[in-house]
Amino acid sequence: RCGGPAGEMGLEVEPLFQAWSYFRRRKFRECSDLCSQLLERPPGEQEQTDSEYTVFQAAWSLKTRALTEMVYVDEIDMDEEGIAEMMLDENAIAQVARPGTSLKLPGTSQGAGPSPAVRPVTQSGRPITGFVRPCTQSGRPSTMEQALKTPRTALTARPITSASGRYVRLGTASMLTNPGGPFINLSRLNLAKYAQKPKLAKALFEYIFHHENDVKNALDLAALATEHAQFKDWWWKVQVGKCYYRLGLYREAEKQFKSALKQQDMVDTILYLAKVYLRLDQPVTALNLFKQGLDRFPGEVALICGIARIHEEMNNISSAAEYYKDVLKQDNTHVEAIACIGSNHFYSDQPETALRFYRRLLQMGVYNCQLFNNLGLCCFYAQQYDMTLSSFERALFLAENEEETADVWYNLGHVAVGIGDLNLAYQCFKLTLVNNNDYAEAYNNLAVLEMRKGHIEQARALLQTASSLAPHMYEPHFNFAVLSEKVGDLQRSYTAARKSEEAFPGHVDTQQLIKQLKQHFAML
Amino acid sequence: PELPVLERNNWLIYLLYVRQDYDECKALIKEQLQESHGLCEYAIYVQALILRLEGKIQESLELFQTCSILNPRSADNLKQVARSLFLLGKHKAAIEVYNEAAKVDEKDWEISHNLGVCYMYLKHFNKAQDQLNHALELNRHDLTYMMLGKIHLLEGETDKAIEVYKKAVEFSPENTDILTTLGLLYLQRGDYQKAFEHLGNALTYDPGNYKATLAAGSMMQAHGDFDVALSKYKVVASMVPESPPLWNNIGMCFFGKKKYVAAISCLKRATYLAPFDWKILYNLGLVHLTMQQYASAFHFLSAAINLQPKMGELYMLLAVALTNLEDVENAKLSYEQAVALDKCNPLVNLNYAVLLYNQGDKKGALCQYQEMEKKVQAAKESSSLEFDPEMVEVAQKMGAALQVGESLVWTKTSKESKSKQRAAPSGKSSSAQQPLGSNQALGQAMSSAAGYGKTMQLPPGAGASAPLAKPPSLPLEPESGPETSPEETSAPTAAE
């Protein structure tokens, strides 16, 4: 602790200056404490200034900024849809969109990505991605019931809630860090007064929006302030748009963002506007917007990355990879682009290239379980046997929760299958299940191992568990169908084969099986 | 007014059913059943048939049971009940009902056929054969032939199965399934001419037949026509893009054309799709041996051995890899295992002899050499065949060297010259210190396998590892079930 309250060191530093310096060095806790001390002094003490703002106000504003920065999350990347937004919200204009123009129909675009036989999928046919963002959507449930039944992390990067309740929780959590209760009592503020003073208003708005998550009050303040600025400040327009977006008024938000763009070209505004369009399920409009943005800001990484994400969401993996490559040409340390291209290479039979991309991530100082997991896999499939197991060991060591441990054991099981040691593989998959009881892939693979040993009943039970846990995976359905067909139970075989076909329509073996079964049914 | 006739609309129900207009048919049936208070037998019967077509066997079984209550003297109803039981996997119950049906109608081939199939599922093969033969006497049918052939195959009697299939082909010469199966059986027996004939016929009738194409392609490959085989595979590859056997065969085609990197990538895709297939692993090991990447070769070969422990050649190749990894002790052990498991491949002994010779164990080398000669002798007696010329060459040199060893005139120079001679043909750097690597023989055997065209009828025994390296191609029994089932493959999960 270098700072401490001023005066301890003997050298008197001006407290406001000290606080400001803390703030610039991003020591928000110290800055906030110091500001509190300043604010506790009797207010009349420093009334000697004749400027527009007093020291008191300066400290007050500084403290709001410090508190905001402690919990600040970039609004662009905060995009979570709760169940209610997914199900009950009907913002998309076209109910049955043409293939390739909507995000809600995965698998309809003609992207030449790897098939589910090669690349694992998340819910309903969206291939697993290389990089999980808070706003990653992987397919959406079709009914409320289904949404409630599926595992909570199946659709978004975090456990799903009923109606993006995370914002609220963020606010409350940050309140606990303030021992003396909330800093500002919002209901007692006279927003109209603050709106007159733009320098205070901006900080206050950010505080209300990001720290307190009180969108309604924030909107009030923003409306008053933008009026005061005579609608000439693009910043306030963007903020009003943000508020509308949070409240679910997408068209109004779009209006504000558009008008802000007219005033001033900003990358931020383009990203917000694209977010609105994506929420309205208009990916093509968003793409056009990004391209216009690229004309104004040539080579802007965030814009190219946005294009790539849209392509990826529409299952057009090959062109997504192209755009990610453009990103890398601009910024060769972009983690998301590297990870996506890497996983893409891995699943298109080029583990060596994937290994290079992941090693690049390692060089950049990324140090987590997933990376070492991926490195281990790439090493094994690229036949770099010396690095394989040590990578997995490190991944196990770095795993932060049981799900990650389960992932690593699962992949170790694959390595064990690769060296033909089926006992080891069996143990690995068992350990996967110990760590994560809902690991459908591990159930499926265990079943395959059991089948090889000839334990048909166990295999059936495991496959049933797998298919109920992950109805979107075709493997357990298909395996169950094959198994039932062998025993002669053609009815179950048929139902399972139909489900497999639903999950992966292009699977040749399933189609052959169904054809065969239909012959059985039609024959006398 | 006249009393309503129960069977009044049967003709219309039948017509709709035959036209596959199931929705309308169902509506009509409902109407008819309401009118007749559920006594119209035919309506129930057709309803059950439709339900069965939709895969709802349990419901259809109940309806057929209703039918047979309405009309207990009908063999048809009983047959349908039994059929539903069969589709549900209750084979014993099905047999009982079929027996009852047989009492009502004795001259029905279907009853006998289905009884045969049920017995087959219960593994009573003798009874099944009797029933199927009976069915054939009553009325010949493709399916019956297929089932009979299947039973013979299950019992391991390939010759009988071929006889059955031959008759079947005579009876219905345009059935591609039968043609393909027969072709594959001939292929298994090594009767290439006939196999080609039948597979060709199958392909004429159905040019996109996946099985036949794969089999034909593998035969061409065995004779060295790699380009033709590749063009065949290209036709199927778009239809079945994720078939492990197909990618394996393509990989071996490239291997034959000495495009090793392409071969490895194809084989690796195959093994990614089918991690339990030892043949693919074997081929991968072989290719890596040729590429002189011994660590990877060892890895794949040991994986293959784990999955298929009863194969001499695998141990031999493993030993070759071990020799190059400078683990002579284990290489010897592996050779011991190979010699113990292998009965007819002289290459195993030859390689072992070379290793022992290089280790200075001339006695053991001689022993293995004689063992090899025995095998060669046996093979020569069994049929007139040519050996791989390069293998013969190495063997002769080895013999010469060993005789020198016996007569105790052994000088270092001669050994060096020997090793030079031997190292040269395989294109390795001819450093004098290098012992005559046992893998040379293998490399030569393989290079000769690549240029296979001249020696047309090389039987599996003598062709060294070459024919084995050839595609595992098609299993006779339809794709060995769950083993080939797709493995979930791990996700590089989100690298944040």
Q: Which among B29, B489, B37 is positioned nearest to A118, based on CA atoms?
A: B489
Q: Do B83 and A524 touch (CB under 8 A)?
A: yes
Length of chain B: 496
What is the arithmetic mean of pLDDT over A173-183? Answer: 55
CB within 8 Å: A475 and B79: no
**Helices vs strands, H then E, count in chain A:** 26, 0
The 10 Å CB-count burial string (b at 16+, else e) for B34-50 is ebbeeebbbbbbbbbbb
In angstroms, the CA A345 to CA A355 distance is 9
Is the per-residue pLDDT at A94 higher than 80?
no
d(CA A25, CA A46): 26
Contact list in A for residue B262 (CB cut-off 8 A) is none
pLDDT at B430: 30
Contact B84, B57 (CB under 8 A): yes
The candidate with the shortest Cα–Cα distance to B359, out of B390, B405, B314, B395, is B405
**SS3 letters for A47-61?**
CCCCCCCCHHHHHHH
Contact B89 A421 (CB under 8 A): no
Report pLDDT for B432.
Answer: 29
- Separation CA B5–CA A449 (nearest Å): 60
A55-87 pLDDT tens trace: 788 888 888 889 888 888 877 776 666 666 666
Please name the residues in contact with A172: beta carbons below 8 A apart, sequence gap of 6 or more. Answer: none
A131 vs B58, B299, B494: nearest CB? B494
Q: Which of B213, B474, B496 to mutate to test the interface with A (most CBs of A within 10 A)?
A: B496
CB count, 10 Å around CB of B53? 15
Task: Inspect the interface and report whether the beta carbons of A478 and B486 lie closer than 8 Å.
Answer: yes
Residue A297: pLDDT band by 50, 70, 90 thresholds? very high
CA distance B426 to B469: 19
Report percent pLDDT > 70 for chain A: 79
Question: Cα dist. A87→A91, A148, A163, A347 in Å?
Answer: 11, 11, 10, 32
| CA distance to partner chain A, nearest, from residue B340 (Å) | 22
Distance from CA of B496 to the nearest CA of A (A): 6
CB contact under 8 A, A448 and B304: no
More confident site: A134 or B9: B9
Please tell me which residue of chain A has the smallest CA distance to B306.
A420
- CA–CA distance from B349 to each of A338, A365, A401, B338, B436 (Å)? 52, 54, 54, 9, 15
User: pLDDT grade, residue A153 (50/70/90)?
Assistant: low
Mean pLDDT on A116-125: 69
| Candidate from A410, A414, A491 with C-beta closest to B88 | A491
Mean pLDDT by 10 residues, chain B (496 residues): 70 90 91 83 90 89 90 87 90 91 85 90 89 89 89 87 89 87 87 86 86 87 87 87 90 92 92 90 93 92 91 88 90 86 76 76 77 73 55 69 47 34 32 34 35 29 32 36 38 38
Tokens 């639903």, located at residue: A502
pLDDT at A88: 62
Cross-chain residue pair B490–A482, CB shorter than 8 Å: no
- Amino acid sitting at position B73: R
Q: At what angle do helices B210-222 and B226-237 cross, to 10 degrees?
A: 160
Nearest residue in chain B measured CA to CA from A373: B492
Question: Chain A to chain B, count of Cβ pairs less than 8 Å apart?
Answer: 175
CA atoms within 13 A on the CB side of A481: 25
At A458, is the pLDDT very low, low, confident or very high (cuts 50, 70, 90)?
A: very high
Q: What are the beta bridge partners of residue A121? A: A127
Which helix H or strand E contains A69, and what residues bound it?
helix A55-71
Q: What DSSP character marks residue A127?
A: B
Q: Between chains, do B485 and A479 touch, taking CB under 8 Å as contact?
A: yes
* Other beta carbons less than 10 A from residue B27's beta carbon: 12
Find out whether B100 and B72 touch, Cβ atoms under 8 Å: no
Q: What is the pLDDT of residue A261?
A: 92
Q: What residues are paired with A127 via a beta bridge?
A: A121
Q: From CA A146, how far away is CA A154, in angstroms rounded?
A: 11
DSSP A46: G
A370 interaction partners in chain B (CB closer than 8 Å)? 492-496
* List of residues 6+ apart from A352 with CB closer than 8 A: A378, A382
Report the Cα B142 to chain-centroid distance in Å.
22
Q: What is the pLDDT of residue A48?
A: 52
Alpha-carbon dihedral sign for residues A177, A180, A183, A184 = positive
Mutation choice for B interface testing from A448, A453, A469 by most B CBs within 10 A? A448
Using an 8 Å CB-CB cutoff, list chain B residues near A441.
488, 490
pLDDT score recorded for residue B216 = 87
Nearest residue on chain A to B284, alpha-carbon basis: A383
CB contact under 8 A, B493 and A370: yes
d(CA B238, CA A89): 42
* For residue A223, pLDDT beyond 50: yes
How many CB atoms within 10 Å of residue B486?
A: 24
Residue of A nearest to B79 (CA): A524
User: Euclidean distance between the first and final Cα of chain B, in Å?
Assistant: 83
Instruction: Report the run of H or E that residue A217 belongs to, with start and end.
Output: helix A215-228
List pLDDT tens digits, range A391-412: 999 999 999 888 889 999 999 9
Alpha carbon distance B103, B89 (integer Å) = 23
Alpha carbon A321 to chain centroid distance?
19
pLDDT (tens digit, 9 = 90+) per residue, A249-296? 999 999 999 999 999 999 999 999 999 998 888 899 999 999 999 999
User: What's the 3-state SS for chain B?
Assistant: CCCCCCCCCHHHHHHHHHCCCHHHHHHHHHHHHHHHCCCCHHHHHHHHHHHHHCCCHHHHHHHHHHHHHHCCCCHHHHHHHHHHHHHCCCHHHHHHHHHHHHHHCCCCHHHHHHHHHHHHHCCCHHHHHHHHHHHHHHCCCHHHHHHHHHHHHHHCCHHHHHHHHHHHHHHCCCCHHHHHHHHHHHHHHCCHHHHHHHHHHHHHHCCCCHHHHHHHHHHHHHCCCHHHHHHHHHHHHCCCCCCHHHHHHHHHHHHHCCCHHHHHHHHHHHHHHCCCCHHHHHHHHHHHHHCCCHHHHHHHHHHHHHHCCCCHHHHHHHHHHHHHCCCHHHHHHHHHHHHHHCCCCHHHHHHHHHHHHHHCCHHHHHHHHHHHHHHHHHHHHHCCCCCCHHHHHHHHHHHHHHHHHHCCCCCHHHHHHHHHHHHHHHCCCCCCCCCCCHHHHHHHHHHHHHCHHHCCCCCCCCCCCHHHHCCCCCCCCCCCHHHHCCCCCCCCCCCC
- Is pLDDT at A11 greater than 70 in this prediction? no
Structure-token pair, residue B469: 């390296």
Measured CA to CA, the distance from residue A194 to residue A206 in angstroms comes to 13
Say what the pLDDT of residue B188 is: 84
Closest CA to A494 of B89, B176, B187: B89
Q: Whole-angstrom Cα distance, residue B323 to residue A368?
A: 40
B442 or A8: which carries more pLDDT confidence?
A: A8
Measured distance CA(B494)–CA(A130) in Å, rounded: 5
Side chain identity, residue A524:
L
Chain A partners within 8 Å of B175 (Cβ): none
Angle of CA points B7, B9, B11, to nearest 5°: 100
pTM for the whole thing? Answer: 0.81
